Structure 1
Amino acid sequence: MLSITSKREYQSIYRDNIKTEGSLFVFLKKKILEDHFAAGIVVSKKVGNAVIRNKVKRRVRAFLREHEELHPAGVELVIIAKPDAGTAIWQKIKEELVQLFENIK
């Protein structure tokens, strides 16, 4: 899995995307010609303080590492956390991420 890091990559996905929304996360998907999967995680200050925001990012990264079989090839994905993601339990986060990944295939 590759990471989306540059402002240009994020802007490209924000411009041309297919949006999938759940109660805790929003997925912005962009099809690409290459056969790799790249993801970027966005957690705004609305989610909580720095400790909470980093916890949400760690949980999403852990999920992405554990569930590589769900990664669609040829996709760049931005995962945006909603404010309720900061207080959600790990099991609820995993369930929603699995459901959203199944919806984007």
Structure 2
Amino acid sequence: MRKSYRIKKNTEFQEVFKHGKSFANRQFVVYVLEKENRKHFRIGLSVSKKLGNAVKRNQIKRYIRQVFLELKEDIPPGYDYIIIARKPAAEMNYHEVKKSLIHVLKIAHVLKKS
């Protein structure tokens, strides 16, 4: 995933936290903030040290990025997303992560097709 699709700066994270809406299930919390005149969506990831060592945290982040890459056509442009992984996400494989993220994105009403 290219850098233009990522949220990195703390100020941008804080803006999404303050002004965005949050949606959650057991494994993930997703904050969504609509941004006007943006050609694509951006994602920011937050995986706590409580979830495991660096290898496990990076694995979770790779899974989340891959899910968003696969759902690229179904996710509308012009939104910022922050995904916070919760404890149960550490024991999940890729397909479970994908299913869980699709579930929470449907709750947020941001997927174009079901």
Structure with the higher strand share, 1 or 2: 1
Report the 3-state secondary structure (helix = DSSP H, G, I; strand = E; otherwise coil) of the residue aligned with 2:37: coil
Q: Please tell me whether the aligned partners of residues 71 and 101 of structure 1 are also in contact (alpha carbons under 8 angstroms).
A: no
**One-letter amino acid of the structure 2 residue matched with residue 32 of structure 1:** K
Structure 1 unaligned residues grouped into runs of 5+: none
Structure 2 unaligned residues grouped into runs of 5+: none
Runs of 4+ in 1 over 4 A off after TM superposition: none
The residue aligned with 1:60 is 64
Measure, in 2, the Cα distance between the counterparts of 1:8 and 1:45.
21
The residue aligned with 2:13 is 10
**One-letter amino acid of the structure 2 residue matched with residue 41 of structure 1:** L
What is the correspondence of 1:1-105 to structure 2 with a 5 Å cutoff?
Answer: 2-35=5-38, 36-104=40-108, 105=110
For residue 2 of structure 1, report the CA deviation from its aligned partner. Answer: 1.3
Q: Please tell me whether the aligned partners of residues 42 and 79 of structure 1 are also in contact (alpha carbons under 8 angstroms).
A: yes
Measure, in 1, the Cα distance between the counterparts of 2:8 and 2:63.
18
Aligned residues: 105
Q: In the TM superposition, what whole-angstrom CA distance separates every residue of 1:20-74 from its partner, at most 9, and x where no partner exists?
A: 0011110011111123211111101111111110010011111111111232222
Measure, in 2, the Cα distance between the counterparts of 1:15 and 1:32.
14
CA RMSD between the two structures: 1.3
TM-score after normalising by structure 2: 0.85
Q: What is the identity percentage for the equivalent residue pairs of Structure 1 and Structure 2? A: 30
Q: Which range moved further: 66-75 or 22-31?
A: 66-75
Measure, in 2, the Cα distance between the counterparts of 1:93 and 1:3.
19
